[in-house]
Amino acid sequence: MIILTAGSVKASPKITYSLSFEEAQAHYIDVEMSVDNIENKTVELHLPVWTPGSYLVREFSKSIEGFKAFDKSGKELKTEKTRKNIWKIYNDKSSDFKVKYRVYAFELTVRTCFVDVSHAYLNGSNIFMYINGMQELPSEIKIRPYKGWKKVSTSLENKSGDPFTLSSPNYDILADSPIEIGDHDVIDFTAQGIKHSVAMVGGGNYDKEKIVKDFTKIIDEETKVFGKNPCKNYTFIVHNVASGGGGLEHLNSTTVQALRFSYTTESSYNGFLGLIAHEYFHLWNVKRLRPVALGPFDYDNENYTRALWIAEGFTAFYDNLFVRRAGFYTPEKYLELVANEVSLVENSPGNKIQPLSESSFDAWIKYYRRNENSVNSTISYYDKGSIVGCMLNLEILHQTKGKQSLDDVLKYMYEEYYEKQKRGFTDEEMKAALEKIAGISLDEFYSKYINGTETIDYIKYFNYAGLKLTDHNATKNEAILGANTNTTNGKVLVTSVIAGTPAYQYGINVNDEIIAIDNIRADDAAKIIAMKKPGDKINVLVTRDGMIRTIEVVLDKNKNVKYALQKIEKPTEEQEAVYKAWIR
């Protein structure tokens, strides 16, 4: 016989975050974090320094104010801040405690938080602290909305039926589930048997029925690649803004920024669908099928990986391809976008300086910290990664006569590493999978194009699909200066100087104000250069740090490429098969 006495059954630890917005007009979130049934006498609370998917240490703790801890009776506890993002709490008498702090939230980007009287957008990594070593604990989130806020859009579970009470099974999911609160438009629909919800924040000229129809097409195409969709529900938070852009992927949701009135013109709407396709594809590629370094996360430090060209680059390759597969782009338009991307990469001097794997590794200090010289020293793992994904897809299609593609590599990797082994993949494992499906060694491909900076043999790869790459600039004999400018308050200011151009060689500097070229006001700089020929001399009058000087420059031929892709006249059956399997 067992006699249970009071106290013999231990209550499980419980974390409750209560959020209120009494000073929404001043952009404050008041956070109260209650912790019950924790045995530790001292605990460390951490706030992440970065948010997964956006590889920059952003120091979210800079927005924390008035941190205080209390015991069960309400008596203030001793606390000590031990690192920029760590608070230590000394709790001698009782196992329960409560902390209170405020978060200043006035940055409307997909990776930060924003509060005003109309709505709140919350990223968990920015506001929720976790007990170090206890990230596995579940938590409850109670929201006290500001007046007029009626809806909550998030992928967090709402067990009670009260939309303002949410729960999370662990910290990783809490940090990875943004929350939108306000009186926004909500579009619910089912696709692939899964409940999807779109929160449209900030108005805009979108058509609800079209959104449902078109999102469904994208979701169907993407699910086809893996043959399964692992989400129980999925939330799109769309911030419609006057200026901005981009998106951030999460496990069961995404936040994107779209231009408020971009829904009615075909090209901008297709661009928006490309962004949706990109973020949605991440629910497989990155959020589940992921490089080893990307989960479980170290929230205190940089998490280094050489594989962002797969995580982001492949996703960028697929985004427009899904828009094509769903029937929004014609084959011609799609090929135009591919050719534009090749031109973009080949016109970046940094493509010859920074290998793709290094671009990924240094994302924390370079890609996310661009400066005036970035174009000369770095290459985007999105743009180049997308091109590399395209080439690998063509290689596999060619080797398998159109029967297998990069789709099969991702499907295999998803099943093997996410589903079976339940872990991230190493660089070697991805290479081995690509080689297995292509049936050839990719040593040379990796050493030239991923770990090296050799120019990709585009002609060879596009020829696999019976496509010819032509440079529309090849026959032109245009002059180039090589200084990019921006006109601010009537001043023509140099924003970047491209390596290998006359501006670089003759010493035109970033921040120079170009006043005149050959005694003609610089407002018409582009027109003046367009009238010149390579080899012509010009006098550039600039202001630099308040001093005026004239710089003599000899113009050069514009060596920038402007590629187009066209079908060759008589493709072989094999080339046709590759083309069809790629473009459909």
Report the interface residues with Zn ion, using CB under 5 A: 312, 315
Nearer to Zn ion by Cβ, of 355 and 385: the residue is 385
Q: CA–CA separation, 129 vs 18, rounded Å?
A: 12
Nearest partner of 63 among 15, 18, 20, 125, judged by Cα: 125
Nearer to Zn ion by Cβ, of 315 and 404: the residue is 315
With H, G, I as helix, E, B as strand and everything else as coil, classify residue 255. Answer: strand
Peptide bond connecting 296 to the previous residue in cis, omega within 30 degrees of 0 = yes
Which residue is listed with tokens 């019976």?
466
**Token duo for residue 484:** 């990019």
Nearer to Zn ion by Cβ, of 33 and 321: the residue is 321
Q: CA–CA separation, 424 vs 307, rounded Å?
A: 11
Q: CA–CA separation, 209 vs 215, rounded Å?
A: 10
Nearer to Zn ion by Cβ, of 99 and 273: the residue is 273
Query: Which phi and psi angles does 452 have, rounded to 5°?
Result: -125, -175
Nearest partner of 337 among 296, 281, 416, 277, judged by Cα: 277
Nearer to Zn ion by Cβ, of 312 and 362: the residue is 312
Q: How far is the CB of 392 from Zn ion (least distance, A)?
A: 18
Query: Which phi and psi angles does 170 have, rounded to 5°?
Result: -165, 175
Nearer to Zn ion by Cβ, of 252 and 315: the residue is 315
User: Distances from the Cα of 512 to the Cαs of 372, 377, 503, 509, 540, in angstroms?
Assistant: 12, 21, 11, 6, 11
153 torsion bin: left (phi>0), alpha (psi -120 to 50), beta (else): beta
Q: How far is the CB of 52 from Zn ion (least distance, A)?
A: 11
Nearer to Zn ion by Cβ, of 303 and 315: the residue is 315
Nearer to Zn ion by Cβ, of 125 and 575: the residue is 125
Contacts 24+ apart (CB under 8 A), 526-530: 529/479, 529/480, 529/481, 529/555, 530/478, 530/479
Q: How far is the CB of 256 from Zn ion (least distance, A)?
A: 11
Q: How far is the CB of 122 from Zn ion (least distance, A)?
A: 21
Nearer to Zn ion by Cβ, of 19 and 406: the residue is 406
User: Do 465 and 567 contact (CB within 8 A), yes or no?
Assistant: no
Torsion angle (degrees, nearest 10) of CA 309, 310, 313, 314: 160
Q: CA–CA separation, 194 vs 44, rounded Å?
A: 39
The length of the chain is 584
Q: How far is the CB of 278 from Zn ion (least distance, A)?
A: 5
Q: How far is the CB of 312 from Zn ion (least distance, A)?
A: 5
Q: How far is the CB of 244 from Zn ion (least distance, A)?
A: 16
Q: How far is the CB of 257 from Zn ion (least distance, A)?
A: 13
Contacts of 267 (CB under 8 A, 6+ apart): none
Q: How far is the CB of 285 from Zn ion (least distance, A)?
A: 9
Nearer to Zn ion by Cβ, of 55 and 446: the residue is 55
Q: How far is the CB of 519 from Zn ion (least distance, A)?
A: 48
Helix %, strand %, coil % of the chain (to 5): 30, 30, 40
With H, G, I as helix, E, B as strand and everything else as coil, classify residue 447. Answer: helix
Q: How far is the CB of 396 from Zn ion (least distance, A)?
A: 22
Nearer to Zn ion by Cβ, of 50 and 130: the residue is 50
